[in-house]
Chains A and B, each alone.
Chain A
Amino acid sequence: MHPIIKLVAQRFSLGILLLVAASVLIFGLTEALPGDAAQAVLGQAATAESLANLREEMGLNRPATTRYFEWFGGIITGDLGTSIVNRLDIAESVGKRLGNTLFLAFWAALVSVPLAIFLGLLAVRYRNRWPDKLISGVTLTTISIPEFLIGYVLVYFLAVKLGFGSALAMINDSMTLFEKLQSIVLPVMVLTLVVLAHMMRMTRAAILNVMQSAYIETAELKGLSTFNVIAKHAFPNAVSPIVNVVMLNLAYLVVGVVVVEVVFVYPGMGQFLVDAVTKRDVPVVLACGVIFAAIYIGLNMLADIISILANPRLRHPK
């Protein structure tokens, strides 16, 4: 078997194992939280009688292991089950939210990744001169400010004062692509500002590292322009750490944006998961958790594979 296929297969089965472990962990932790779905739903209005009725109806009287294996049985046949709180089909409601999250993450990535890499290259080209310092200064500032604050500042100055973009990033099926894009302008800006610095700095550092090599000197002596040297000779050899950090940030754009979702009232997965946790809606928490874990594991796997492909030394291990 080709070593790369073997490697992918290995990584893939490891990933599946990791997912199962994650689901056990998520289930265990949600069970360990004080209170259950019946108490969370009824809240201050709970009485012993209504609690008992609701528990019976939600099937919470059965042992935890039974419930876990029922869920597990469902998920390997592709059935995510139904929410125990509002009885909606989880696959359908999660699907919609996941679609929204991926939509936002996709556009944020489309803006931020090329921008970060371009700024990184630019910083290398003018290293230790004012463009480099300006780029680093600005991006490090934006990453240091909490994202909700950047969000509020943009909402106040752009949406409220200037009427640019919209304070609520509500999107729904009846909107055209252009309308959707218009409503997510501000969250995309915030997310870009938040992830830019990490990727930009990594690009800069990785390329500067390569720039010390002898073959770069050769390329320079050959008479290539600085930007060409960076783009054609240094960048391909610096791809591996850059891909890793890009993937980490992509994963963040999918799983870590709950604060931005709250500020812009964006109907994504993060808010959905938080609601499910506060209501102890275990099947929904599991579904979201496993999807998040799968995205995280998947992107990391992809990063590993790309960096191996990009590096001949890793491609042909001894």
Chain B
Amino acid sequence: MTDQLDYLKKQASLGKLSRRDFLGKTSALGVSAAAAGTMFATVARADTPKKGGDFKLGSVGGESTNSLDPATYASQVPFHNGKQFGDTLVDVTGDGSIKNILAESVESSADAKTWMFKMRKDVEFHNGKTMTAEDVMKTMERHSNEDSKSGALGIMKGIESMKVDGDMFSVTLKDPNADLPYLMADYHLIIQPNGGMDAPDAGIGTGPYKLEVNEPGVRHAYTKFENYWADDAHFDSVEIIVINDATARTAALQSGQVHMINRVEPKVAGLLDRAPNVSVTSTAGRGHYVFIMHIDTAPFDENELRLALKHAINREDMVDKILRGYGSVGNDMPINSSYPLFDASIPQRSFDLAKAAEHYKKSGHDGSPIVLRVADAAFPGAVDAASLFQQSAAQAGIPLEIKREPNDGYWSEVWNVQPFCASYWGGRPVQDQMYSTAYLSTADWNDTRFKNPEFDAMLLAARAELDNAKRKDIYSKMGYMVRDEGGLICPMFNDFVEAHSTDLMGWGSNGNQELMNGLITRDMWFA
């Protein structure tokens, strides 16, 4: 089958197969239409990028309260703004490896405690200044100092000291960390002149596009920066238009007013893909839709009850109905095969009413309804997913009571406060970061109250381990622990479902963040 598929892909890339024929022929090979659409978009690109054109993105997740200060980025539109005007030291590629951006080379000491970044020369900020290692250090200081409110504060905590020596920026850590470059790829850590200490929200960086218009919640317009240091980024101008309404986004793409949109609703993705001149893509990501239990609160302090609930959820059904197939089943741990060092041999937990009933009986729960709090703010379709969960649990004799909460204030009043609720986790580039963010005993966002000294010790050991085979082994054990003892019920991982006009070339799969990790305006071009 692979041979045939490769042949078809090649034909498509040569332009010998139309999209329709490609979909038809691959479906005969048992490839789903969603997967085939993605494949077609990947292969059907001209070889050499062309310069020029005015690119327009219609994006969800922008508000009139947005700031350009990278420390405050928490939704899609600010994230894409950062990708236009700014650069980070390094970035993560689609296959999970590190790519140097503003750093020319990255080296570590043998114990992974000290990391040295040699900075690229002759990189210019949009205000005309030349970037120095000093700017880099100031940036890191701004995100890590005590009164910082940066979204990257959590990952900067492990830094003991930083220093600059010529064009060399070095970081010394409190504890060894083999994954430090991944942390430096965080999208908040955009290098700004003097670290953004003077004007954090000026929108000045070293990125390919220079800010022209900043109307938060409406649009952000950029033109190509003439002294940009790299040779990617092919458009003359980029405009990010805030379109929070899903139907308006689809209509804007179909009527040609924008060239690309994010967050296509799974229920319309299939229909949209049939429209002429539009290509729908789906990228496996690391974000997951979850139900979380506080394992230090009754009745969830009883592991038998947790196991009962974990067995009583029908994962396939949820991927089918909530994600319409644009996703994959979860295994009650926050890690999936998109992560480096993932152990694929951990058995998949399945929907098993007999086991659920058995664990429920062993838990000795008094039969009073277990309250599950949900709102669609947790993830799209959360309320429906909870109903599905309620029904399948009822079949195992477990009474769930759904309490619907308002979307407004969900993250401050319900999540991380109530013992059992629906939630969403965006992925992290590496396992260490995911576990440190939400499963370490001391983590601020330990939303399942999973506190296990043995687990913590293993996490630190894996972090310092430079031998990948050994690391993989430790991560596998940790995965088992969270899966079998933790408070996380993870029924599904969602894909990034996006769509672009067929005039655009160069689409590639990168599931670190949406829209090719935000690299659409660097890697894509107009045919």
| A residues with CB within 8 A of B | 33-35, 39-50, 53-54, 56-57, 83, 85-88, 93, 96-97, 152, 155-156, 159-160, 163, 166-168, 170, 172, 262-265, 267, 271-272, 275-276, 278-279, 281, 284
| A35-B412 contact, Cβ under 8 Å, with A167-B248, A168-B248 | yes
| A160-B255 contact, Cβ under 8 Å, with A48-B444, A167-B248, A168-B241 | yes
For window 474-508 of B, CB contacts with A under 8 Å fall at: none
* Option from A42, A265, A281 in Cβ contact (under 8 Å) with B65: A281
B111 within 8 A of A: no
Chain B nearest Cβ from A29, distance in angstroms: 13
For A281, what are the chain B residues with a Cβ–Cβ distance below 8 Å?
65
Residues A39 and B218 in contact, CB atoms below 8 Å apart: no
Chain B nearest Cβ from A47, distance in angstroms: 4
Give A231 to B487 CA distance when docked, in angstroms: 75
Residues B413 and A265 in contact, CB atoms below 8 Å apart: no
Give A154 to B387 CA distance when docked, in angstroms: 34
Chain A nearest Cβ from B81, distance in angstroms: 12
In the complex formed, the residue of A with least CB distance to B75 is A43
Residues A276 and B64 in contact, CB atoms below 8 Å apart: yes
Chain B nearest Cβ from A16, distance in angstroms: 28
Interface size of B by CB at 8 A reads 45
In the complex formed, the residue of A with least CB distance to B408 is A278
Residues A152 and B65 in contact, CB atoms below 8 Å apart: no
| A267-B217 contact, Cβ under 8 Å, with A43-B411, A85-B67, A262-B244 | yes
Residues A265 and B248 in contact, CB atoms below 8 Å apart: yes
Residues B63 and A34 in contact, CB atoms below 8 Å apart: no
Residues B151 and A45 in contact, CB atoms below 8 Å apart: yes
For B445, what are the chain A residues with a Cβ–Cβ distance below 8 Å?
44-45, 47
* Option from A43, A159, A267 in Cβ contact (under 8 Å) with B255: A159
Give A288 to B413 CA distance when docked, in angstroms: 26
In the complex formed, the residue of A with least CB distance to B245 is A262
| A279-B149 contact, Cβ under 8 Å, with A35-B412, A41-B74, A168-B241 | no
Residues B63 and A275 in contact, CB atoms below 8 Å apart: yes
Interface string of B388-410 (1 = CB under 8 A from A): 00000000000000000000110
Give A168 to B241 CA distance when docked, in angstroms: 10
Give A47 to B257 CA distance when docked, in angstroms: 40
| A167-B251 contact, Cβ under 8 Å, with A47-B154, A50-B153 | yes
For B63, what are the chain A residues with a Cβ–Cβ distance below 8 Å?
275, 278-279
For A57, what are the chain B residues with a Cβ–Cβ distance below 8 Å?
147, 149
Residues B257 and A35 in contact, CB atoms below 8 Å apart: no
Residues B213 and A54 in contact, CB atoms below 8 Å apart: no
How many A-B residue pairs lie within 8 Å, measured between CB atoms? Answer: 135
Residues B74 and A42 in contact, CB atoms below 8 Å apart: yes
For B227, what are the chain A residues with a Cβ–Cβ distance below 8 Å?
none
Residues B64 and A275 in contact, CB atoms below 8 Å apart: yes
* Option from B58, B219, B255, B411 in Cβ contact (under 8 Å) with A46: B411
In the complex formed, the residue of B with least CB distance to A279 is B65
Q: Chain A contact residues: over half helix, strand or loop, or mixed? A: helix
In the complex formed, the residue of A with least CB distance to B221 is A172
Give A67 to B456 CA distance when docked, in angstroms: 44
Residues B148 and A53 in contact, CB atoms below 8 Å apart: yes
For B72, what are the chain A residues with a Cβ–Cβ distance below 8 Å?
41
Residues B241 and A170 in contact, CB atoms below 8 Å apart: yes
B183 within 8 A of A: no
A-B pairs, 7 with minimum CB distance: A47-B444, A39-B412, A85-B65, A267-B218, A86-B67, A167-B251, A35-B412
* Option from B149, B150, B412 in Cβ contact (under 8 Å) with A34: B412
Residues B248 and A44 in contact, CB atoms below 8 Å apart: no
* Option from B153, B247, B254, B423 in Cβ contact (under 8 Å) with A152: B247
* Option from A42, A83, A152 in Cβ contact (under 8 Å) with B149: A42
Which residue, of A40, A93, A168, A263, has the highest number of chain B Cβ atoms within 10 A? A168
B216 within 8 A of A: yes
Give A123 to B449 CA distance when docked, in angstroms: 69
| A155-B74 contact, Cβ under 8 Å, with A43-B411, A96-B215 | no
B242 within 8 A of A: yes
Residues B201 and A86 in contact, CB atoms below 8 Å apart: yes
Chosen A-B contacts, 21 in total, with CB atoms closer than 8 Å, are A41-B72, A43-B74, A44-B415, A45-B445, A46-B411, A46-B412, A47-B153, A47-B445, A87-B201, A152-B247, A167-B255, A168-B243, A265-B252, A267-B218, A267-B219, A271-B217, A272-B217, A275-B63, A275-B64, A276-B64, A276-B65
Residues B248 and A264 in contact, CB atoms below 8 Å apart: yes
Interface string of B75-88 (1 = CB under 8 A from A): 00000000000000
In the complex formed, the residue of B with least CB distance to A266 is B218
Chain A nearest Cβ from B195, distance in angstroms: 17
For B148, what are the chain A residues with a Cβ–Cβ distance below 8 Å?
50, 53
For B247, what are the chain A residues with a Cβ–Cβ distance below 8 Å?
152, 155, 263
For window 126-165 of B, CB contacts with A under 8 Å fall at: 147-151, 153-154
B194 within 8 A of A: no
For A168, what are the chain B residues with a Cβ–Cβ distance below 8 Å?
58, 241, 243, 248, 252, 257-258
| A35-B413 contact, Cβ under 8 Å, with A86-B216, A267-B217 | yes
B66 within 8 A of A: yes
For A39, what are the chain B residues with a Cβ–Cβ distance below 8 Å?
409, 411-412
Residues A167 and B252 in contact, CB atoms below 8 Å apart: yes
Residues A53 and B251 in contact, CB atoms below 8 Å apart: no
Give A85 to B241 CA distance when docked, in angstroms: 21
Residues A163 and B217 in contact, CB atoms below 8 Å apart: no
Residues A172 and B408 in contact, CB atoms below 8 Å apart: no
Give A160 to B247 CA distance when docked, in angstroms: 12
In the complex formed, the residue of A with least CB distance to B151 is A45
In the complex formed, the residue of B with least CB distance to A156 is B251
For A46, what are the chain B residues with a Cβ–Cβ distance below 8 Å?
411-412
Chain B nearest Cβ from A235, distance in angstroms: 41
Residues A265 and B255 in contact, CB atoms below 8 Å apart: no
Give A94 to B424 CA distance when docked, in angstroms: 33
Given A47-B444, A96-B215, 12 other A-B residues pairs in contact with their CB atoms under 8 A: A42-B149, A44-B423, A45-B151, A50-B148, A93-B64, A152-B247, A155-B248, A155-B255, A168-B248, A172-B219, A271-B64, A275-B63
* Option from B58, B153, B216, B412 in Cβ contact (under 8 Å) with A88: B216
For B444, what are the chain A residues with a Cβ–Cβ distance below 8 Å?
47-49
Chain B nearest Cβ from A293, distance in angstroms: 20
